[in-house]
Amino acid sequence: MPESNGGRNAGLVNPDERIASDESTRKVFGMVRAFMTDPSLLDSLNGQQYLVVRPAGKVASFYETEQESLLSVLPGSVSFPNTGHVTLRGFYEPERVDALRELLVRWASEQPAIRLQVEGVDGFPPPFQVLIARLQRTPSLIEAYASLTAALDATDFYRIGELTLDEWVFHLSLVYASTLSEPDWEKAHEVSRRELDPAPAEVCATVEFVWYENGIERSERLMLGGVAAEEATGR
């Protein structure tokens, strides 16, 4: 897919319909999979918002296979995302969700498609202990992060855990393994860590604005490059 800039017409197909991604709603409306379903994770995310990229092609296929393989050998105490995603930014703005969304829609309208390429399986060390699919720093991914930073710097939105572009490791979290002892973590990391060749890759034409309130995940899909955004009700 060519990476091209578009106009400023991004928006919801129906902005009055905000769809919750809880399990019962997804069954009724056939919605895309929620990013998080673990009740403890949902509770910890309450009041937070995120801008993420959801892969749907080769990267997504690799993610699902790798996560299943890891979970088959790790203790049941670990937790994990329900769906693979690349976080571009996190926020804590429970009272300004609509204003934050409006800024992100404007940003998305000018942002070209984003190329994701998994270069290896790795992990963040203690105290985090997260197994990840590490991404190559593709030009479009770097541009997305940098341009988003520039857009946010002109605002006072509170950003969670933000790092500079040079410090940020682009990734998809596979397993949250903080419950493992440090020796068990080191073993799991050592066994799973590797570079990938060939490296699965895909181009993503959407991002998703995700927010959490009262234990429920809600999301809206934003088309990149000026194409209208869509509700997260399926593809």
Cis preceding-peptide flag for 126 (omega within 30 of 0): no
Q: Are 89 and 51 in contact (CB under 8 A)?
A: yes
Q: What is the count of structural domains for the chain?
A: 1
Q: What is the CATH number of the domain that holds 98?
A: 3.90.1140.10
Is 189 a member of any domain? yes
Read off the DSSP letter of residue 20: B
At residue 16, the pLDDT reads 29
Read off the DSSP letter of residue 84: -
Is 125 a member of any domain? yes
Q: How far apart are CA 150 and CA 22, in angstroms?
A: 33
Radius of gyration of the chain from its Cα atoms, rounded to whole angstroms: 17
Read off the DSSP letter of residue 95: T
Read off the DSSP letter of residue 2: -
Mention every residue, 6+ apart, whose C-beta is less than 8 A from residue 69. Answer: none
Amino acid (1-letter code) at residue 229? A
Q: Are 133 and 62 in contact (CB under 8 A)?
A: yes
Is 206 a member of any domain? yes
Rounded to 5°, the CA angle 205-15-206 comes to 10
Residue count of the chain: 235
pTM of the model: 0.83
Is 38 a member of any domain? yes
Q: How far apart are CA 219 and CA 212, in angstroms?
A: 9
Find the domain containing 127 and state its range: 23-231
Is 70 a member of any domain? yes
Which runs of E-coded beta strand occur in the chain? 48-53, 86-92, 114-124, 130-135, 159-160, 171-176, 194-195, 201-204, 206-213, 216-223, 230-231
Is 15 a member of any domain? no
Is 11 a member of any domain? no
Is 32 a member of any domain? yes
Distances (CA, A) of 103 to 17, 110, 159, 165: 19, 12, 14, 20
How do the pLDDT tens digits run along the chain, 235 residues long?
Answer: 222 222 222 233 233 223 333 333 333 334 579 999 999 999 999 999 999 999 999 999 999 999 999 999 999 999 999 999 999 999 999 999 999 999 999 999 999 999 999 999 999 999 999 999 999 999 999 999 999 999 999 999 999 999 999 999 999 999 999 999 999 999 999 999 999 999 999 999 999 999 999 999 999 999 998 443 443 333 3
